[in-house]
Amino acid sequence: MDQKIIVRGGRRLKGRVRVNGAKNAALAILCGATLAGENVVLDNVPNITDVQHIIQVLSFLGARVVWWREDAVTISVPSLTVREAPYDLVKKLRASNLLLGPLLARCGEVRIPLPGGCNIGARPMDLHFKGLSALGAELSLEKGYICAKAKRLRGAQVYLDFPSVGATENIMMAACLAEGQTLIQNAAKEPEVVDLANFLNSLGARIFGAGTDVIRIEGVKELGRPVHYSVIPDRIEAGTLMVAAVATRGEVEIEGVIPRHIQPLTAKLREMGAQIVEGEDVFYIKAPDELRPVNVKTMPYPGFPTDMQSQVMALLSTVPGTSLIVENIYENRFQVAQELRRMGAQIKVEGRVAVVEGVPRLYGAQVRATDLRAGAALVIAGLMAEGETEVVGAEVIYRGYKDFEKRLARLGADLAAANGQEQFFALGEKSDPGRRNIPTYRE
Ligand code: UD1
């Protein structure tokens, strides 16, 4: 059923919040854990629906995964009897493609349905295929399944035409158990790639250079040292909370972060006029009422992250002047502009460029979350808007954000999750259904 988040705008966020473990690092590490046998303990794992789904896939394949604390799991994969991932689960998340590399290396054979995930572009897999074939795998597409086979994998030199995060991770995982040395050139440098490499190294892998554009992997016979590993903090969750703080002209302390990972966003928010003080693992952020427009171009890390683009678009929609956003990673990532326009934003999209003309205010409306980050962006827009915003399709938000609306509410926002009209009235004493008649289209 469609889930909703209902937001009543106009409150400044104030207070302190702690960031959860990184979704994209946790997903890759959980897939990487299939390379090991037993005794893997992971901390700082976010209990979000994408993680729950990948755990379901792993369990189906024969792994034993136990949540022993709210944010910690143990994994043991003594053997993998099933080598075909189930379509119903895999279609829910793109990250299941990250099982291709490790299962191929561990079992020599794997069948994975072409994965699903957020609706944000074509998302081909040619680079994954190119890299795994270079290591000696035979890959084919059969009736919607990716079939991969390899009697043995041999180290190779792989040049990626684009520094794809997923392709880098898949090739890196497969290469851990390949014979000899693999070089990945033009590798992705995202912190989540580095976190996966650190995790694999703690299992006994020999990966060098993760975080630079050349990663060298010396193959080993097996991985299996007992490991207790802690996932890095989620830079995108931290960034989303920072943008929400600035959007409401609030004053928020965000704890448990690695400030260096969020630098491209911090720089932009400062350019807009926000005051940001960085500690070792904390941000203090305060925004003045008047902000300046900026131009943003999404790029592979350490450039501005595509996963922060929608939230920043929502923020810029009320900043006086003209801001330009160039989306270089995913061609479909401007779908949120259409929803923001329903709230009164003035955004023109031309191919990969969006021109945002700041308006004095947004108005509450019913809008649809088209993907995970768009959903977060619409909630942020709702926090700024006059009146009430109903974000429908909000279940996509929980793919990547744990207790999203509850955490914002703790910072003083007026919002709640609702599955139907009846819960809408339970929002608090200020509930006034009459206020829903606010004009919604301002085009
Ligand atoms: C990962 C993240 C996602 C983030 C993205 C870019 C996970 C689970 N997801 O996705 O949140 O938005 O990085 O930072 O970690 N491409 C190809 N061929 C390929 C693979 C990718 O052309 O074989 C293209 C894609 O279409 C896209 C670009 O490369 O235009 C980036 O994709 P990639 O870095 O692979 O993203 P994901 O790993 O899918």
pLDDT confidence bin for 141, thresholds 50/70/90: confident
CA distance 279 to 179: 44
Question: Which one from 31, 118, 147, 176 is the annotated catalytic residue?
Answer: 118
C-beta 54 within 6 A of ligand 1: no
**What CA–CA distance (Å, rounded) separates 15 from 10?**
16
Beta-carbon contacts of 422 under 8 Å, excluding residues fewer than 6 positions away, are none
Global confidence as pTM? 0.93
Could you tell me the strand order of the sheet in which 275-278 lies? 14-18, 251-255, 282-286, 275-278
Tell me how far apart the alpha carbons of residues 372 and 391 are, in angstroms, rounded to a whole number: 12
Q: Please give the C-alpha separations between residue 399 and each of 50, 121, 378, in angstroms, as whole numbers.
A: 5, 18, 15
Site to substitute for ligand 1 among 57, 123, 184, 373, most atoms within 8 A of C-beta: 123
pLDDT at 193 over 50: yes
What per-residue confidence (pLDDT) applies to 93? Answer: 80
Q: Which residue has the higher pLDDT, 118 or 374?
A: 374
Q: Which of 30, 316, 291 is nearest to 173 (CA)?
A: 30
Q: Would you state the pLDDT for residue 442?
A: 24
Q: Are the CB atoms for 249 and 274 separated by under 8 Å?
A: no
- Alpha carbons 47 and 110: distance in angstroms, whole number: 27
CB of 165 closer than 6 angstroms to any ligand 1 atom: yes
Q: Is 222 helix (H, G, I), strand (E, B) or coil?
A: coil
Cβ(347) to ligand 1 under 6 A?
no
Q: Per-residue pLDDT for 438 more than 80?
A: no
Lowest mean pLDDT among 43-52, 65-74, 291-300, 416-425: 416-425
CA distance 8 to 390: 9
Overall average pLDDT of the 113-119 stretch: 62
pLDDT, tens only, 21-76: 999 999 999 999 999 988 899 999 999 999 999 999 999 889 999 999 999 999 99
Report the distance separating Cα 340 and Cα 53, nearest Å.
30
Alpha-carbon torsion angle 182, 186, 189, 195, nearest 10: -20
Ligand 1 contact via 171 beta carbon (within 6 Å): no
Residue nearest atom 12 in ligand 1 by C-alpha distance: 307
118 is catalytic: yes
Dist. CA 164 → ligand 1 center (Å): 5
pLDDT digits (tens, 9 = 90+) for 163-191: 999 999 999 999 999 999 999 999 999 99
162 lines ligand 1 (CB under 6 A): yes
Query: How much is the pLDDT for 116?
Result: 56
